[in-house]
Structure 1
Amino acid sequence: MTVLTELKVPNHLKQWVVDQNYSKYTAIDQGVWRYVMRQNHNFLKDVAHEKYTTGLTESGISINKIPKVEEMNECLRPFGWRAVTIDGFIPAVAFFSFQANGILPIASEIRKLKNILYTPAPDIIHEAAGHAPILCDPEYSTFVKLLSSIGAKAIATKEEHEVFEAARALSNLMETGIASDEEIKKAENLLTEKQSAVKTVSEAEQIARLYWWTVEFGMIGTTDNPKIFGAGLLSSVGESANSLTNKVKKLPFQLEHVIATSFDISKQQPHLFVCENFEQLTKEVLRFSETMAFKKGGTESLEKALKSEATATVEMSSGLQVTGTVTNIIKDEKDEAIFFKMEGPSTLSFENKTLSGHGKDRHFHGFSSPIGKLKSTNKQLEDFSAIDLIQHNIVIGERTTLLFESDVQVSGTVREIMKRDNKIILITLKEVTVTHNDKILFEPEWGEFDLAVGSTITSVFGGAADPENFFQTEDINQSVGQIGANKLEHNCLDTMYEWIRNIREKGQVTFEDEQELRRIENTLKVNFPKDWLLRLELVELLHTNSILHEVELQLRSQLDKLSMVDDNLSELINKGLKLLKS
């Protein structure tokens, strides 16, 4: 794909990228975009962060039509960002990885008219109109990239991974509109079951809370006079207005309070956090990062990787990075890790680049290694000089026995000693036996043994050290997954939406147009008694051009009747009519 090549999207992220396929958006979709954007801009221009209004234009977003993400991509380049379209929900680590690389992932889908107030699934209104404008602020941009780079390294638990999959399935079911009540109920029950299985708050969940209460629902300024900058507020017709009322408590941003506060994506927020400025957020995120496994290392961090049952990277004090799925840890009497094992495809890297000959082909079934110093010396093995190696009989071609302080013993013939930056990072042995007390950890029949050199574990993080090579997928999803057949039908209602849009964009109404507008009003009355948005657009067109006053009155009467049916519908209609007076 030309766009992906120009963007240089990392290989491991390409699987989430889709073509926007702009022609699939119907005139009804365009109407939904225009309604939401007109409402939001009218309200937010005075209450959002100062970058919101100019940021819309700077990021290539129009109020009147769904943006083309290719055009947004070009507009965002001067601000250090790019943009791609993705297909709905993607894993948090992938989402963070996109943003850490300065790429804004934008869902290609748009909410249905019936979900105009809120959709549980990601859509282009939220991710383009919500996220993009404020990214044009350099201080905010710095914060988002920093938070995302940290988020991409966060380690989640197995249970949290399962919650994500269940939430994704439910969200997709609810937005498609074709699932039965039984199917939705089953998906809801599964999500509840998976959520109840989560017993601890992982660092990944804490990062998610930080992201939620800032990037998604953040406010800036003072608690008495806050301004909106969170994408969830900037893209919501109702919640942005509600957020500034006394119904929603405004709390000063305090890191410990934020990461301790959970959230519910299906409900409006009962409270919001207000930061002083974006520099405060950057400072606090850096402070939080010091508590994470990728900064702390050690046994505690290794255990986080074990509980995640997902791809993680263990970095040794020599600088060697081991990527795979941690499945076992052996500890000493002080409860400190002395040996770890990974199962499944694993790789060895240095400075985030896979070592030649140590990709998944060599370590297809896994990897294991002791941790710590040798018993015979206080010097760390990675710091051994040539003389030290000879004194300890670590010589290529010679048989040796390495006894660690932990009583892990490695016996075999040295085949290779690998160094990087004057440190020994790897010793490869053949005809090897590895034991701990009376337990055999590695046998000669299993092949060569690569000893990961490192007296301590300095870092553990989620994902791969070299994701480009570890996740070697070139598969690019060309489908637009959630756009259903109902959106592809160019039906009568959609044709009328398109007529109204074309007349509005033309800027003048001819006699022939007036006759067509009369026919549209009659067709609405007979065949589409419940469609409120097209009636609203028709009223706007007639009112703006001061034509067909009697038709406008009929339409207003129809809208009044629709308003009596449902409170939410009444609010949508009244807000739309209010714009005609402003």
Structure 2
Amino acid sequence: MQTQQEIINSLPSHLRPFAAVQDYRRYTPRDQAVWRFLLHQLRNNLSQSAESTYLEGLGKTGISLESIPRIEEMNDGLREIGWHAVVVDGFVPPAIFMEFQAQRVLVIAVDMRTFEHMLYTPAPDIVHESAGHAPFIIDVDYAEFLQRFGELGMHAIASRGDMEVYQAIRALSIIKENPRASAEQISAAEHKLTAAIAANDTPSEAALLSRLHWWTVEYGLVGTPDDYRIFGAGLLSSLGESVNCLDDEKVKKLPLTVDAISCAYDITCEQPQLFVTRNCRHLSQVLEEFGRQMCVNRGGAESVRQAIQAQTVNTAVTNAGLEISGQFSDVLTDAVGNVVYVNTTGPTQLAYQGKELPGQGIACHKEGFGCPVGRLQAMERCLSSYTVDELKQHGIAIDTEVKLDFLSGITVVGWLKKILRRDQKNLVFTFEGCTVRSLQGDILFDPAWGVFDMAVGAAITSVYGGSADQDAFPLYRVAEKSEAVYTPADDGHGGKLFDFYQKIRNFREASCQASKSILVNDAGKQKIAQWTQELLDAKFQEWLLYFELLEIAKMCECSEAVCQPLLDQLKKLQQEGDDNQRRLIQYGLDRLSP
């Protein structure tokens, strides 16, 4: 059995800072009661409406209805199907989330939703991430689809506007989840998100892919528009929407096609339409339909232009396999659209097969990078494929002045000092005293600018989001602990409220191990009667605590004299509560009804 830390240590270095170790002691007795209520109710709601794998998957992935899952127990189940789980504190950048998924690692938010947000939490929590996402991984086809989604998602080009929207969503979610937040704080955060979305009016590749993720992984249905089951994690973890989505008059059901990317979504409200996939194979087909059009699979000038428009760090790959990572600022093309020169601005990295090349990191290329792309005149193959001896036959040798004439008309003249090779390929030519000119005579590189490292390649075959070697060129930081979701450690009653929850929990656990005769004995009934009076005397306004005790009282066949006051108090709190509280209490009462 691997420990949490051993699993974290097995991850790529740049992912490790985002993974945390679950401290199970941080979950309060009320957290456990919230989990138990939600999971039992979800099971009731979903027993007929969820895809048949769901209930089986809960058990096989180590998720109990009775208590918040321990990450070790989840990994015991996931390991059998080649996956792992790690916990994270709060929010993870979308590209990092996708890379975890590509590594067959399920990211589990460590926080438990608060009592105030039982029906819906705006922040990632362990209910959504574990009970929503984990169960269907036992389906091999779905697990492969999820992994492939991660592979494409981590390579999607995200724009600066996407990051601003993400930051605004994260800020709003954290504020909304904090019961101490003021109406003014929530309003300001909502306004900031609205402004960020309005400013980001041209969806990037990553934004379009996130829509497909939303309408499948998060809010997907499987079957046909007339006969469907739920499999999306957002629906599976929502008490309200898992029921409301079944109303075909209020929620349209549309067949899933790649056109779903044209449908934006709003995370703050229930969805007005949902998409139905036929099966996992269909999911994969739609995903690949989108993936074929992604820049990572197309390359070329148009892909570089998308990277320029994004104003974020992206990577262009030459046909030689050399990876140029930076914020692209310009691309020159010939009359038929072939890339002939690319430029970046700011820190830039040259890498090969995901590893930064020696002396070619962001410390070397602080201000930016530029290089010609294409074949040389009088040379039939890409410059990368020539041996050292073949290069000498063309007048290209170290410690000599070399002139390279590209078919595009670009010329490179300078003293060749070094050739960096990998796998029998030339990847970088390093020049001193070098001048690079365009066909029109414009200076693209001047000797006064220092050493010229020329990346080798006849074409740009791929462009993808992020840097090639994120260990050496990290793009994302881990949120500070103060930015994580607010989790109250104090019950506001000197610990008495949590003590009540714990006493009831201890009694239930002991009772579950007892025979029926012991379960309903006089001593047990007397204890419940005593707790009922103590709870009523304390006048706690905590409906879930009254429900927990009423559930135990009914299980132990307590008298009406014990059960009725608890039921009366629940109905009183139902009348006095907001819409969410009234719904939750009704869910509980319906479940306790004969």
Band the TM-score falls in, shorter-chain normalisation: over 0.9
Q: Is the 8 A contact 2:91 2:484 kept in 1?
A: no
Tell me whether 1:456 sits opposite 2:459 in the alignment. Answer: yes
Tell me whether 1:482 sits opposite 2:493 in the alignment. Answer: no
- The correspondence for 2:580, drawn from 548, 561, 568, is 568
Residue 371 of structure 2 corresponds to which residue in structure 1?
369
* 1:476 Cα deviation after fit: 10
Q: 1:461 to 1:59 in 2, by over 3 A?
A: same
- Between 1:487-496 and 1:107-116, the stretch displaced more is 487-496
Q: Is the 8 A contact 1:84 1:105 kept in 2?
A: yes
Write out per-residue CA displacement over residues 260-305 of structure 1, whole angstroms, 9 at most, x where no aligned residue.
1111111111111111110111122122111000000011111122
Residue 542 of structure 2 corresponds to which residue in structure 1?
531
Residues 198-217 of structure 1 aligned to structure 2 (within 5 Å): 198-217=200-219
- Whichever residue aligns with residue 75 of structure 2, its letter is N
Residue 252 of structure 1 corresponds to which residue in structure 2?
255
Q: Is the 8 A contact 1:432 1:442 kept in 2?
A: yes
Residue 136 of structure 2 corresponds to which residue in structure 1?
134
Q: Is the 8 A contact 1:87 1:480 kept in 2?
A: no
Residue 351 of structure 2 aligns to a residue whose secondary structure is strand
Residues 386-535 of structure 1 aligned to structure 2 (within 5 Å): 389-436=391-438, 437-471=440-474, 481-487=484-490, 491-507=495-511, 508=519, 514-535=525-546
- Between 1:487-496 and 1:190-199, the stretch displaced more is 487-496
Write out per-residue CA displacement over residues 537-558 of structure 1, whole angstroms, 9 at most, x where no aligned residue.
1111111111142121011112
- How big is the alpha-carbon RMSD for the aligned residues of Structure 1 and Structure 2? 2.5
Residue 220 of structure 1 aligns to a residue whose secondary structure is strand
Tell me whether 1:6 sits opposite 2:7 in the alignment. Answer: yes
* 1:353 Cα deviation after fit: 2.7
* 1:421 Cα deviation after fit: 4.1
Residue 312 of structure 1 corresponds to which residue in structure 2?
314
- Whichever residue aligns with residue 138 of structure 2, its letter is C
Residues 69-88 of structure 1 aligned to structure 2 (within 5 Å): 69-88=71-90
* 1:17 Cα deviation after fit: 1.6
Q: Is the 8 A contact 1:321 1:465 kept in 2?
A: yes
Q: Is the 8 A contact 1:158 1:307 kept in 2?
A: no
**Rounded Cα–Cα distance in structure 2 between residues aligned with 1:559 and 1:445:** 80
Which runs of no fewer than 5 residues in structure 2 stay unpaired? 512-518
Q: 1:556 to 1:192 in 2, by over 3 A?
A: same
- Whichever residue aligns with residue 220 of structure 2, its letter is G
**Rounded Cα–Cα distance in structure 2 between residues aligned with 1:280 and 1:563:** 44
- Whichever residue aligns with residue 572 of structure 2, its letter is K
* 1:406 Cα deviation after fit: 3.4
Q: Is the 8 A contact 1:503 1:509 kept in 2?
A: no
- Between 1:370-379 and 1:547-556, the stretch displaced more is 370-379
Write out per-residue CA displacement over residues 239-267 of structure 1, whole angstroms, 9 at most, x where no aligned residue.
111122222221111122x1111111111
* 1:380 Cα deviation after fit: 3.1
- Between 1:92-101 and 1:202-211, the stretch displaced more is 202-211
Residue 558 of structure 1 corresponds to which residue in structure 2?
569
Q: 1:480 to 1:581 in 2, by over 3 A?
A: farther
Residue 328 of structure 2 corresponds to which residue in structure 1?
326
Identity of aligned residues (%): 39
Q: 1:205 to 1:50 in 2, by over 3 A?
A: same
Residue 196 of structure 2 aligns to a residue whose secondary structure is helix
* 1:354 Cα deviation after fit: 2.6
**Rounded Cα–Cα distance in structure 1 between residues aligned with 2:435 and 2:326:** 22
- Between 1:325-334 and 1:532-541, the stretch displaced more is 325-334
Residue 328 of structure 1 aligns to a residue whose secondary structure is strand
Q: Is the 8 A contact 2:348 2:368 kept in 1?
A: yes
**Rounded Cα–Cα distance in structure 1 between residues aligned with 2:534 and 2:374:** 79
Residue 343 of structure 1 aligns to a residue whose secondary structure is strand
**Rounded Cα–Cα distance in structure 2 between residues aligned with 1:538 and 1:17:** 37
Q: Is the 8 A contact 1:15 1:473 kept in 2?
A: no
Q: 1:488 to 1:411 in 2, by over 3 A?
A: farther
**Rounded Cα–Cα distance in structure 2 between residues aligned with 1:469 and 1:214:** 34
Write out per-residue CA displacement over residues 46-84 of structure 1, whole angstroms, 9 at most, x where no aligned residue.
221121111111100000100011221222011111001
**Rounded Cα–Cα distance in structure 2 between residues aligned with 1:126 and 1:487:** 24
Q: Is the 8 A contact 1:410 1:432 kept in 2?
A: yes
Q: Is the 8 A contact 1:220 1:276 kept in 2?
A: yes
**Rounded Cα–Cα distance in structure 2 between residues aligned with 1:274 and 1:35:** 29
Q: Is the 8 A contact 2:221 2:230 kept in 1?
A: yes
- The correspondence for 1:580, drawn from 560, 568, 592, is 592
- Between 1:368-377 and 1:509-518, the stretch displaced more is 509-518
Residue 166 of structure 2 aligns to a residue whose secondary structure is helix
**Rounded Cα–Cα distance in structure 1 between residues aligned with 2:462 and 2:320:** 11
**Rounded Cα–Cα distance in structure 1 between residues aligned with 2:339 and 2:261:** 28
Q: 1:393 to 1:579 in 2, by over 3 A?
A: same
**Rounded Cα–Cα distance in structure 2 between residues aligned with 1:310 and 1:150:** 17
* 1:362 Cα deviation after fit: 3.1
The TM-score, its normalising length taken from structure 1, stands at 0.94
Residue 14 of structure 2 aligns to a residue whose secondary structure is helix
Write out per-residue CA displacement over residues 375-415 of structure 1, whole angstroms, 9 at most, x where no aligned residue.
45554323445565235421111101223333332221112
Residue 515 of structure 2 corresponds to which residue in structure 1?
none
- The correspondence for 1:192, drawn from 172, 194, 199, is 194
Residues 223-242 of structure 1 aligned to structure 2 (within 5 Å): 223-242=225-244
Query: Does 1 or 2 have the higher relative contact order (CA < 8 Å, sep 6+)?
Result: 1
Q: Is the 8 A contact 2:520 2:557 kept in 1?
A: no
**Rounded Cα–Cα distance in structure 1 between residues aligned with 2:477 and 2:168:** 26
Residue 47 of structure 2 aligns to a residue whose secondary structure is helix
Number of aligned residues: 581
Which runs of no fewer than 5 residues in structure 1 stay unpaired? none
Q: 1:142 to 1:434 in 2, by over 3 A?
A: same
**Rounded Cα–Cα distance in structure 2 between residues aligned with 1:176 and 1:487:** 14
**Rounded Cα–Cα distance in structure 2 between residues aligned with 1:497 and 1:376:** 82
- Whichever residue aligns with residue 562 of structure 2, its letter is V
Q: Is the 8 A contact 1:18 1:477 kept in 2?
A: no
Residue 543 of structure 1 corresponds to which residue in structure 2?
554
**Rounded Cα–Cα distance in structure 2 between residues aligned with 1:19 and 1:528:** 37
Residue 127 of structure 2 corresponds to which residue in structure 1?
125
**Rounded Cα–Cα distance in structure 1 between residues aligned with 2:572 and 2:245:** 29
- Whichever residue aligns with residue 398 of structure 1, its letter is T
Q: 1:474 to 1:509 in 2, by over 3 A?
A: farther
**Rounded Cα–Cα distance in structure 1 between residues aligned with 2:403 and 2:468:** 30
**Rounded Cα–Cα distance in structure 2 between residues aligned with 1:403 and 1:458:** 22
Q: Is the 8 A contact 1:213 1:272 kept in 2?
A: yes
Q: 1:205 to 1:487 in 2, by over 3 A?
A: farther
Residue 91 of structure 2 aligns to a residue whose secondary structure is coil
Write out per-residue CA displacement over residues 346-395 of structure 1, whole angstroms, 9 at most, x where no aligned residue.
32222223323433343344322112223455543234455652354211
Q: Is the 8 A contact 2:419 2:429 kept in 1?
A: yes
